[in-house]
Structure 1
Amino acid sequence: MITWFIYILSLLSSYPVFTANFPGGKVPYINTAFQSGEELYFDVAYGWVKGGEASMTIDLVPVGYDYMYHVKAEAHTTGMFALFSPIQDTYETYIHMLSGLPIKAIRNIRENNYTYYNELLFFRQRHFIRSLNSGDHPAPDNTLDILSAFYFARRHLFSHNLEKNQIISLFTFFDDQFLDIRIKYKGKEMVRTRFGKVRCMKFVPDTTNNKTFTKEKQLQIWVTDDRNFVPVKIKAHLPIGSLKCALTGYKGLKDPEGQLRNEK
C-alpha cells in the first residue's frame, strides 16, 4: 500500500516545478492528528487479488537536544506476487515535533533485482535540500518529502472547515525533483470497512493540467472524518491496472473518540 500510495502522491502533481512559495507561510504548532505510538496496517489488492501488505508507524527519537517524530512506512508483496515480483520497500522521515516539517528522509527500495537508496537532509535556515545521490538543491523553507507530506496534511491541511471542491496543495521533493501535489475535497461519505461503516472525507485529484489523472474517479481517497484523519480506503485506476488499498488494523490513535474508537 505504501509504495503505491507514495507513487500515487507523486502522480498527483500536474507537472514538476522548480520554485514555489509554500501556502500559508509559518505553520501552527498544534497537533491533534497523530502521536507517537500510532500504528496503521493495510492490505493492497490488484483487481480482486490481494498482493501486498503495508504498515505506517510513529515513534519519538532523540536528535541532539530535541525529539523528532520518526515515521516509518514499510510495504511488501505477498502470496504469488511475492514469488514473481518481490517488493520490500521502506520509507522513513524525521519530523520536527513543533512545525511538522521534515528534517531527514530515507528511501530504501528493493523490487525484484532493482535496488535504490537515498537520503535527504533539509537545511531550512540555509534554504536548500541535500540529496545523498544528487547533491544540493535550493528549496523553499517549507518543502516536504513525499512521506512527511501526508502527515503534514493530516496535521495542518485536512480540516472540517474545507469547502466542497476546495484544493489542497503540498510542495514536495521526490525523485530529485520538486512536485506540487494537489488534491480536491469532495465532501463526506459513509464507507464500508472491516470495522463497520465509517464516516469519511473524500479526496480526488485536481485534474487541472494533470496528464495522469484526467478524471476524478481515477483516484479516490477516504480519510476518517475526525481529528485523526486516518486513511481507510484508496481506489486507483492506473495504466498498470486497478489498485485498492484498505485499512486492516490500527492502534495508538491520537483521538480515541474518533470514527475508529476501539483499537484493533
Structure 2
Amino acid sequence: MIRYLKVIILFSCIIQTLSAQQKTFKSGEKVVFDAYYNWGFIWLNAGQAMFTASDTIFNGKDAYQMKATGVTYNGYDYLFKVRDTLISVISKDSLQPLWFTRKTNEGSYSAEITYNFDHESNLVNGTKKRKGKTEYASYILPENTKDIVSVIYYLREVDFTGMKENDRILFNMVVDNEMWELYVRYLGKKVIKLKSGRRFRCIVLAPLLLEGSVFSGGEGMKIFVTDDRNRLPVYIESKVLVGKVKASLISYENLKYPLSSEVY
C-alpha cells in the first residue's frame, strides 16, 4: 500500500524558487491516509499509511526525521501484503536529503535499502540488502535529487502561481538503488470530495510513474494537494496492473496552518 501512496512525493521545484526556511509544515505533523483497492465492482478499504515529521540531530546539525509507514489490514493480506517503514533525514536549512532507509515487505518481495547523500562530494552511496546478498552503488548527485520520502516535504514548498496547465516539472530521484529522471505534470485546480465527505480546493498533479510490480508506468495517476499554505496531499487515484487504487486523507495533527482550502 505504501507503493500506492509513496508517489504522493513525485513533486519537484526546479521551475520555482524555494525558500531556505520551510513554511508549509512543522515538527510534530502527523498525516494518515486510508487506502482503497478496486476489485471488479467492489472498493475495499485495504490498509493505511502514515507520515510524521520530527526533530533530530544528524552529524551534529539540526535536521528533520521524516517517517512513513504503510500496512495492509490483516484481512486483506491475501491480496497483497505490505509492511513498510521508510525514514528520511533532511537538512532543516535546505530540506535536502542527508540519509534514507527503507525496510520493505511487499507481497513476496522484501529488502532493506539505505542511501547516504554526500553533498560535499556530490555523491549518493547506496546499499541494498536482499535474500542474504548486499549490493552497493554510488551515483553522481545531480541538483534537485531526492529520495521518495524527503521530496514530499521539500516539494510542498512549490509555488504553483503562474504555472500553466500541462507544464512539466523535472527532477531526479533515487529509487531501489537506481537514479531516475522523472517529472510531474501540472493539471490545474479542482474541488475534490474525500471518502469522509469533506471537500477541498486542490492543485491536481500527474506524476510519471516507474513501471514495476504494481504500476504499469506512464501518467495513470492523479494527486490532489490542498490549494492553501499547507500544500497537503489529501487524495490520490491511480490505475495499477490489476484494478485501481485510491488513497484518502482521514486524519492529521499539528499542521502549521489551518486547512483554509476546505469547502463547506
Q: Return the TM-score normalized by structure 1.
A: 0.83
Q: Which runs of 5+ in 1 are unaligned?
A: 13-21
Tell me if structure 1 keeps the 8 A contact 2:97–2:146: yes
Residue 242 (structure 2) aligns with: 240
Amino acid corresponding to residue 100 of structure 1 in structure 2: L
Tell me if structure 2 keeps the 8 A contact 1:158–1:229: no
1:114 to 83, 99, 109: 109
- Greater shift, 242-251 or 63-72, is seen at 63-72
Deviation of the 1:180 alpha carbon:
1.8
1:2 aligns with 2:7: no
Residue 253 (structure 2) aligns with: 251
- Where do residues 65-144 of structure 1 align in structure 2 (5 Å cutoff)? 65-82=60-77, 85-133=80-128, 134-144=136-146
- Where do residues 15-54 of structure 1 align in structure 2 (5 Å cutoff)? 23=14, 28-47=19-38, 48-54=43-49
Residue 148 (structure 1) aligns with: 150
Distance 1:75 1:166, change over 3 A: same
CA offsets 1:114-138 (integer angstroms, 9 cap, x no match):
3210110000110111112313222
Distance 1:26 1:204, change over 3 A: closer
Residue 206 (structure 2) aligns with: 204
Residue 183 (structure 2) aligns with: 182
Amino acid corresponding to residue 59 of structure 1 in structure 2: S
Query: Which secondary structure does the structure 2 equivalent of 1:146 belong to?
Result: coil
Residue 227 (structure 1) aligns with: 229
Distance 1:250 1:65, change over 3 A: same
Inter-partner Cα distance in structure 1 for 2:93 and 2:248: 30
Inter-partner Cα distance in structure 1 for 2:229 and 2:248: 19
Amino acid corresponding to residue 98 of structure 1 in structure 2: D
Amino acid corresponding to residue 23 of structure 2 in structure 1: T
Deviation of the 1:103 alpha carbon:
0.1
Tell me if structure 2 keeps the 8 A contact 1:61–1:69: yes
Inter-partner Cα distance in structure 2 for 1:141 and 1:201: 25
Inter-partner Cα distance in structure 2 for 1:24 and 1:49: 38
Inter-partner Cα distance in structure 2 for 1:55 and 1:229: 17
Distance 1:95 1:9, change over 3 A: closer
Query: Which secondary structure does the structure 2 equivalent of 1:253 belong to?
Result: coil
- Greater shift, 248-257 or 90-99, is seen at 248-257
Distance 1:237 1:104, change over 3 A: same
Query: Which secondary structure does the structure 2 equivalent of 1:31 belong to?
Result: coil
Inter-partner Cα distance in structure 2 for 1:179 and 1:149: 14
Inter-partner Cα distance in structure 2 for 1:163 and 1:84: 40
Inter-partner Cα distance in structure 1 for 2:170 and 2:70: 26
Deviation of the 1:83 alpha carbon:
5.0
Amino acid corresponding to residue 168 of structure 2 in structure 1: I
Tell me if structure 2 keeps the 8 A contact 1:183–1:203: yes
Deviation of the 1:7 alpha carbon:
5.8
- Where do residues 158-177 of structure 1 align in structure 2 (5 Å cutoff)? 158-177=159-178
Identity of aligned residues (%): 25
Tell me if structure 1 keeps the 8 A contact 2:223–2:235: yes
Residue 16 (structure 1) aligns with: none
